[in-house]
């Protein structure tokens, strides 16, 4: 086994152990949880190695990097687009993303619908919810919870978009537990109107335990699996 594969395997085992423990504590089954390996900044060769660990889902946050990497990767994965998405990148992302996690505004819904219709694809999407209580901040992404149901309604009416659930990132400067607890309440209300949209994408390397406790179905794990990313900028 290559050194890199051994390293990834060891990291993956630690994460699986953390998920198992968190599930036990929450009275959940580990089989309810999908791990998405966030491969941003890491090369296609690492992505291909993940297949040998049985990882089937990978996530990227920038279109330019993701679209190039998708062409280089040899193995089959389900591709998740998890980053803030500019409307002018919608067309490109629809070409390769199986699930887009970061839908957060009307203009983007319209662009995604148009792009998906043009290639006759049913595009699966999540709505990103902004959990920051200090007020909306357009630079960070996510819709304000009060506007969630209107956006969900628009997606439901879009012929080429499938609303699959919600996504969120714990706000900076706050404990993740209370933030994910608020998310679980927002989600309970949302599910009354969109009962089929059961995915909850929440939890990253640092806060996966809290996310599992409050109902996450999809974890987005980068550094704990692939290693610390070099700081950019």
Ligand X SMILES: *Cc1c(COP(=O)(O)O)cnc(C)c1O
Window 122-161: contact mask with ligand X (x via CB under 6 A):
----------------------------------------
Residue number with the shortest CB distance to ligand X? 222
Phi/psi of residue 72, each to 5°?
Answer: -85, -30
CB-nearer residue toward ligand X: 13 or 206? 206
Stretch that binds ligand X, among 64-72, 115-123, 209-217, 220-228 (CB under 6 A): 220-228
The region of 22-30, 110-118, 131-139, 217-225 touching ligand X under the rule CB under 6 A is 217-225
User: Of these, 33, 58, 82, 85, which contacts ligand X (CB under 6 A)?
Assistant: 82
Q: Which of 83, 142, 145, 176 binds ligand X (CB under 6 A)?
A: 83
116 versus 221: smaller Cβ distance to ligand X: 221
Of the candidates 48, 85, 95, 60, the one whose C-alpha atom is nearest the C-alpha of residue 220 is 60
Strand partners, 147: none
Binding range to ligand X, per CB under 6 A, among 19-27, 64-72, 182-190, 216-224: 216-224
Torsion of CA 233, 141, 105, 218, to 10 degrees: 110
Q: b or e along 186-215 (b: 16 or more beta carbons within 10 Å of the residue's beta carbon)?
A: bbeebeeebeebebbbbbbbebbbbbbbbb
List Cα–Cα distances, 118 to 65, 94, 103, 222, in angstroms: 23, 10, 19, 33
Residues that bind ligand X in the complex, under the rule CB under 6 A: 38, 40, 61, 82-83, 169, 204-206, 220-224
């Amino acid at each position: 086994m290559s050194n890199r594969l051994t390293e990834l395997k060891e990291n993956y085992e630690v994460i699986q152990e953390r998920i198992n423990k968190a599930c036990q504590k929450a009275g959940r089954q580990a089989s309810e949880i999908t791990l998405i390996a966030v491969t941003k900044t890491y090369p296609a060769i690492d992505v291909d190695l993940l297949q040998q660990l049985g990882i089937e889902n990978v996530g990227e946050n920038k279109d330019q990097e993701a679209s190039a990497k998708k062409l280089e990767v040899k193995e089959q994965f389900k591709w998740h687009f998890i980053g803030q998405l500019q409307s002018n990148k919608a067309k490109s992302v629809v070409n390769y993303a199986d699930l887009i996690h970061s839908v957060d505004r009307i203009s983007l819904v319209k662009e995604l619908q148009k792009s998906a219709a043009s290639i006759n694809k049913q595009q699966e999407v999540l709505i990103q919810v902004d959990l920051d209580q200090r007020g909306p901040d357009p630079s960070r992404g996510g819709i304000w919870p009060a506007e969630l149901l209107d956006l969900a309604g628009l997606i439901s009416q879009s012929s080429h978009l499938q609303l699959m659930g919600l996504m969120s990132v714990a706000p900076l400067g706050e404990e993740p537990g209370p933030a994910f607890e608020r998310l679980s309440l927002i989600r309970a209300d949302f599910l009354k109107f969109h009962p089929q949209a059961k995915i909850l994408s929440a939890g990253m390397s640092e806060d996966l335990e809290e996310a599992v406790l409050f109902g996450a179905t999809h974890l987005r794990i980068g550094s704990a699996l692939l290693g610390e990313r070099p700081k950019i900028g």
